[in-house]
Structure formats: C-alpha cells, structure tokens
Amino acid sequence: MTKRIAFISDHASPVGILGGVDSGGQNVYVGQLAKNLAALGYEVDIFTRRDSKRLPEIAEWVNGIRIIHVPAGPPDYVPKEQLLPFMGDFADYVLQFFKCQRKGYDLVHPNFWMSGLVACEIKRQLGIPFVVTFHALGRVRRLHQKDADKFPNERFDIEDRIVTAADRIIAECPQDEEDLIRLYNADPAKVTIVPCGFDPTEIWPISKPLARFALGLPPEERVILQLGRLVPRKGIDTAIRGFARLVKNHGIEACMHIVGGESEEPDPAVTPEIGRLREIAKEEGVAERVTFVGRRGRESLKYYYSAADIFVTTPWYEPFGITPVESMACGTPVVGSNVGGIKFTVRDGETGYLVRPKDADALAERLAHLYEHPKLMSVLSRQAIRRANDLFTWHQVASSMAAVYEEVLAPTRSRRQEQTQLVTVLNRSFDQLVEVLQESRRRVTPALLDAADLVSNCIARGGRILISGSGPSGMEALRLTSKFVDRFKNEERVGLPAVMVSETFADPFAAVDREHESLLLRHIETVGKAGDVFIGITATKRSRSVLAAFRSARNQGLHSIALTGQNSGDLPQAADIAIIVPSGEREHILQSQLVIIHLLCELVEERLASETHFTNVAQFPAAKIGRSKVKSSGRRGNLDGANAGRESASNGGNKTYARPSGKSGNRNRERAGTR
C-alpha cells in the first residue's frame, strides 16, 4: 500500500529562489528528498508558507508532488526569525486540510523547528507520527552567533518539546547527532544519521576549459570559488581574508568568485552582506581580484563548481552543508572549516582539507599547498568525485529515509521485521569495518612488511619475540603468542620463540595500575635481551604501561613494533615500527588488529620457509626441520640450540637489523603507516 507523507517546511519552499538570506540548503533538501521519495513510490505533499499573492493554494509540481501554500501571516517575504507568531495559523490550516483529505497521511516530516512545532500539534490532535529534521539547532546557533542570533528565546523550549515528542530525529552528520544528545538530552535510540546529498542529473563534472568558456573566464587563470547564502555565519569574510593572504604572503596570483545573494546582479542595497564583504576585500587589498557574481540558478552551478580550481567554505558552524558535496561531485577539491557536516563530508587530505574556522592564515596555507602541488590537486579531484557518488546521492538519501519511515510506521515488530533490522545493523557494521580494513590495507602494508622482516630476522638469528597487550588488546597479544609458539598455516614448522609479557601474571587483561606497570617492566628486563623484538598491542588512546614498556625495551637494546590505532599519543614515536589502524573506534581497532596479526603470522611463516630470503637464516633450522617432519623432541633440541646462540646473535642494542642482501633496515624513514 502506498504511503502518504506530509512534508512541512515553514519558510523554505522547494521552488524558492536560492542564494538569499533564507533560501539555501533546506530548500534543496526538501525538494530533492520529496522527488526521490516519490520515485520510490511515496505520495508526498509539501506544506510551506505562502509568501506571495501570486502563489496558488495548491500547485502540482513534479512526480505527483503537490505544494500547498499555507496562508499564515502576510503573503509576502517575512524573515524567518519573525515567523513564530504565525505558526498557530499555520498549524490550524494544516490540521483542517488534513481532516478534509479523503486519504489520510501516514507520517509527517517537519523541516526546521517551527515546522516541528506544527507537527507536535498534528500528533497531539490526530495521532500521526512524525520524523523531524532540524537543519540547525537553536542552542548551537546561539553559542556561535550570540547577540547576532535574532530568533526568539522560546525556540529552545520548543525544540525540547519536539525532541521529546518526535518518533524519530534525523541528524545530518555525527556532530548533529552529538549536539542533539548532549544539548537536548535526545534519546540516542531515536536519532538516526541520514546525510544530505546531490543530484547526479543536475550536478556533474564538466571539463575546466569548457566550463570557463561557458562562464567567460580566462582559461589559464587561477580561480577560487565561494558559493552559497550570503550571511555572516557562513564566514565568507574569512574566505576573503585567506584569499588575500594567499596573494600577499604566498605570492600566488589568483581570483575569487563569490556566487549568491538576493538578486541576479550583486546589489548591496538588496543584499547588505555584499557591502560588508566588499569593504573587507578593499581593506585586504584584493578588491579587484574578488568578483561578486550575484544569484545564479541551479542549472548553472555545475559550471561554476567545475570552472574553479578550489572551492572554499568557511562557516563558523554548519549543520550539514550541501555545497561542499556538490563541489566534490564536480571534481573540485574543498578547503572548508572543520565543523559540523563539513568535517563529515570532506575527508581531510583525501578530497580536500579542513581548517579551523575564522583562521585566514591556515586557509591561505592550504590553498597555497594545493596550488604548489598540482598533481595532488588532480588526485583529490578524482577522490572527491568518487566519495560524493559513493555516499551522497539523493537516491541513497531517500532510500535511507524510507527505511526510517518504515520503522516508524511498523505497527508491530514481527520476528521477520526484527531480523531485517538486525541484518541492517549487521550490514552497517560490516560496511564500517570493511572501510577501515580497506584503508588499513592502503596505509599499513609497508609497515607490516617491515615488521615481518624484523621478526623473521630476529628468529633466524636466535632471538626471542616478546609480546604484550594492554587492556582488551591482551587477548590479541595472547592470540599472537600462541600462533607463534604453536603454528599458523604451516603445520610442519617448529614453534617459534615467543613469550607473552603482561602487567600481571594473574590476569593479563586486568586494568593497569602503577604496580602492574612496574611488573611489566621487570618482566621485559628479565626475559628480554638486546636484539630481541618487543611487540606491544593496544587499542586505547593513551596506554601508560605500554608506552613505558617501549621505552624500557629501547633502553635494553630491543627492537620494537607497535600495533595501535589513531590518537595513540607518543607511542608511534617510541617504537621502531608503528602499524597504525586508521580508526579511533576501539572495536574497529581490535577487529582490524586481529586481521593484521594473522597477516603478520603468515608473512613470518613465508619468510622463514625460504632458506635464501635472509642472509643469516641458516641460524634458524625451522625450515629444514619442518620439511624433514622431525619429532617434537628433535624440534626442541634445535630450538635450544637457537636459544643458546642468542647472546652472540645480539647486535648490542644497535637500532638496525639484518635485511635481505645485507641491507640495513633503519627504522627512521618516514613512510605511510609507520612513524
């Protein structure tokens, strides 16, 4: 049965002219989401305030979507900060409209807090559930804008009421989710992240020469673009100041184009922000290099995005930000503020760069870096197109939203429905883990190969492998030790000389205190000798005991390998080789560490199975013994012989180790995945 959805968007009509003070991302969001939901089979009506006498009460739009222009307040433009007094009339009209429909609405989707107030009243009177997208939160806005925020203080209480009454709350990015939970005490189970998107049939890459020809821009000029609503919180003043420093401090000749405003021609009388920004450009000495383009229709935006070398967006805060995604979809790298949705959509160093808000110097430095490395800019361009199309199309957004709707509308959760939801959770978890593993493969491969060399050389020369794990990584340390001592894939090889050292012999996975820390150090001092290898595994951000263990190992002349995650403090610097899982989530780190441990075991077995790979492998008889299928007593005898030669095999604490063909394996090189 076809579901019928009522969108409420008090001030942002999908047919509104974009680029003005109150017309921007929400207009695009409402229109695109409605069109793509209709394509999925939903019936959608959009209720928005009538702000012109020429607008009909009901207008047929596209894909069967109707736009209902609600008579609430004067039929003229009213700043959204002044619309709250008209929301009572808005709600009364919508309620009456609902009651007159032959076929009722299944669900209401309000956009913005005043629309949410209307949805609360509809639910109270008619019992229709609602899913809300705030697009911006009052407390976050007040935090950043302070006295410049002109919305009434009643907004905070109304938002609290909406958060309590909503059946589901849509967060547009992880920061939005965090703000809802932290500032509004939202139930985490009710909050679902569904991002914004772009339309591939509207926004796509155009060759730079063709785009510049269409816009009348010089083909060889360096072009920086800023596009969006012209309001102070968008931080366009920072973009201009950063651009000025690019020209003056870095000596890079370029121009900046600023698209947006209330009129086709840039007019400070109509768009006061233009006047303020022009004065800033004049003060910075770049007035002749900064062009205010005026408002442009969406059909022309792909030309501006494609014509630019770099897209700049530097707001103080941003709940999501559609323009960075559109720029990425056109293959233009983004330099944006490290806030809100921008730090979710833009991958720093992969599709562009993130800088602190209001930091013109940092912005200039990143712009200069891109212009000084044109090949890097090309790489970021390709990766930006891929990321936008993989994650942020409106079809994907609508599909995710439809899944939320169906969860809300399900009258009872049958066993089959529960299983479907569990499968969704599993798929999401698998997808997240796969992303971390794919990134790990790209980043840690060189360090993992070096680690296998180091371990294999140590064993071949009669040394020992000391292994320790901190907290939950203790299980991974035990697993690695057992695979070395027993066997991994090669059933014929002898056990390898691996020893697990822990903070406490009684419980290696217990919480660490100072007594346990000193016990770990004594254990390393007792068991380890110069030339041995110490492997420390941790998934925590700061592990004092493991860090102390690495320093102790270095002082004793042991080589060291750290297997850790991001944000691990000084640990990578304390190790000879750092294998860093590119994630800050503990569970992802632990799962990835298990895979890396298996790979390390496989590499070591491959190394030791070759008699010619290492120049001194003859000191380790495991390969020959394994192929001869000797009895366990014979293996132990050979291992004892290997242990007897440990002192002579030691290199006296020198931080190099044998490599193939006698090359040195100095660990001080900088490479991906290592320190």
> How far apart are alpha carbons 469 and 563 in whole angstroms?
9
> How far is residue 531 from each of residues 452, 494, 595, measured CA to CA in Å?
15, 21, 27
Residue 46 has pLDDT above 50, yes or no: yes
> How far apart are alpha carbons 220 and 232 in whole angstroms?
32
What's the pLDDT score for residue 180?
97
> Running DSSP on this structure, what letter comes out for residue 467?
E
What's the pLDDT score for residue 419?
66
What's the pLDDT score for residue 515?
52
Kindly indicate the confidence band of residue 118, based on its pLDDT and cuts at 50, 70 and 90.
Answer: very high
Mean pLDDT of 209-238: 95
> Running DSSP on this structure, what letter comes out for residue 294?
E
Out of 3.40.50.2000, 3.90.1150.10, 3.40.50.720, 3.40.720.10, which CATH number does the structure's domain 208-390 have? 3.40.50.2000
Kindly indicate the confidence band of residue 206, based on its pLDDT and cuts at 50, 70 and 90.
Answer: very high
pLDDT, tens digit (0-9, with 9 covering 90-100), for 307-345: 999 999 999 888 888 999 999 999 999 999 999 999 999
Which fold is adopted by the domain 4-193? Rossmann fold (3.40.50)
What's the pLDDT score for residue 602?
87
> How far apart are alpha carbons 331 and 378 in whole angstroms?
9
> How far apart are alpha carbons 96 and 106 in whole angstroms?
16
> How far apart are alpha carbons 103 and 100 in whole angstroms?
9
Residue 413 has pLDDT above 90, yes or no: no
User: 3-state class of 466 per DSSP?
Assistant: strand
pLDDT, tens digit (0-9, with 9 covering 90-100), for 495-516: 889 988 876 544 444 444 445 5
Least confident window among 253-267, 449-463, 650-664 = 650-664
> How far apart are alpha carbons 328 and 380 in whole angstroms?
9
Residues 6+ apart with CB under 8 A from 631: none
Structure token digits, residue 39: 């394509």
Beta carbons of 516 and 504 less than 8 angstroms apart: yes
Beta carbons of 320 and 195 less than 8 angstroms apart: yes
What's the pLDDT score for residue 532?
93
Residues 6+ apart with CB under 8 A from 564: 536, 537, 538, 539, 571, 572, 578, 579, 580, 581, 589
Mean pLDDT of 23-49: 93
What's the pLDDT score for residue 588?
86
User: 3-state class of 78 per DSSP?
Assistant: coil
In 3D space, the residue among 203, 129, 202, 132 whose CA is nearest the CA of residue 172 turns out to be: 132
% of residues, the chain, pLDDT over 90: 61
Which fold is adopted by the domain 435-662? Rossmann fold (3.40.50)
- Amino acid identity of 41? G
Residue with tokens 């609360």: 120
What's the longest Cα–Cα distance across the chain? 97
> How far apart are alpha carbons 451 and 577 in whole angstroms?
7
Residue 144 has pLDDT above 90, yes or no: no
> How far apart are alpha carbons 665 and 455 in whole angstroms?
12
What's the pLDDT score for residue 674?
40
Residue 372 main-chain phi, psi, to 5 deg:
-80, -10
> Cβ of 208: how many Cβ atoms within 10 Å?
19
β-strands 191-193, 168-171 pairing? parallel
Least confident window among 43-52, 99-108, 410-419 = 410-419
Structure token digits, residue 429: 């978890």
Angle (nearest 5°) at CA 124 between 402 and 167: 30
Give the start-to-end residue ranges of the domains of the chain: 4-193, 208-390, 435-662
Least confident window among 25-29, 378-382, 669-673 = 669-673
Residue 208 has pLDDT above 90, yes or no: yes
- Amino acid identity of 667? R
Kindly indicate the confidence band of residue 619, based on its pLDDT and cuts at 50, 70 and 90.
Answer: very low
What's the pLDDT score for residue 431?
83
What's the pLDDT score for residue 215?
97
Residue 338 main-chain phi, psi, to 5 deg:
-85, 65
Beta carbons of 238 and 358 less than 8 angstroms apart: yes
Q: What is the mean pLDDT of the chain?
A: 85
pLDDT, tens digit (0-9, with 9 covering 90-100), for 337-372: 999 999 999 999 999 999 999 999 999 999 999 999
Beta carbons of 18 and 120 less than 8 angstroms apart: no
R_g over Cα of the chain: 31
Domain 4-193 and domain 208-390 have a common topology:
yes
> How far apart are alpha carbons 314 and 235 in whole angstroms?
5
Residue 656 has pLDDT above 60, yes or no: no
Residue 666 has pLDDT above 70, yes or no: no
Kindly indicate the confidence band of residue 628, based on its pLDDT and cuts at 50, 70 and 90.
Answer: very low
Least confident window among 197-206, 421-430, 546-555, 573-582 = 421-430
What's the pLDDT score for residue 673?
41
pLDDT, tens digit (0-9, with 9 covering 90-100), for 552-609: 899 999 999 999 988 778 888 889 999 999 988 888 888 888 999 989 988 888 888 8
Residue 663 has pLDDT above 90, yes or no: no
Kindly indicate the confidence band of residue 1, based on its pLDDT and cuts at 50, 70 and 90.
Answer: low
Beta carbons of 294 and 263 less than 8 angstroms apart: yes
What's the pLDDT score for residue 667?
40
Structure token digits, residue 12: 């942002």
Helices 586-609, 474-485: inter-axial angle, 10-degree rounding: 10
Least confident window among 270-274, 275-279, 598-602 = 598-602
Residue with tokens 């609508």: 398
Residue 636 has pLDDT above 60, yes or no: no
What's the pLDDT score for residue 633?
35
Residue 89 main-chain phi, psi, to 5 deg:
-65, -40
> How far apart are alpha carbons 329 and 550 in whole angstroms?
45
> How far apart are alpha carbons 450 and 202 in whole angstroms?
48
Structure token digits, residue 138: 């009052």
Structure token digits, residue 570: 């000084």
Kindly indicate the confidence band of residue 262, based on its pLDDT and cuts at 50, 70 and 90.
Answer: confident
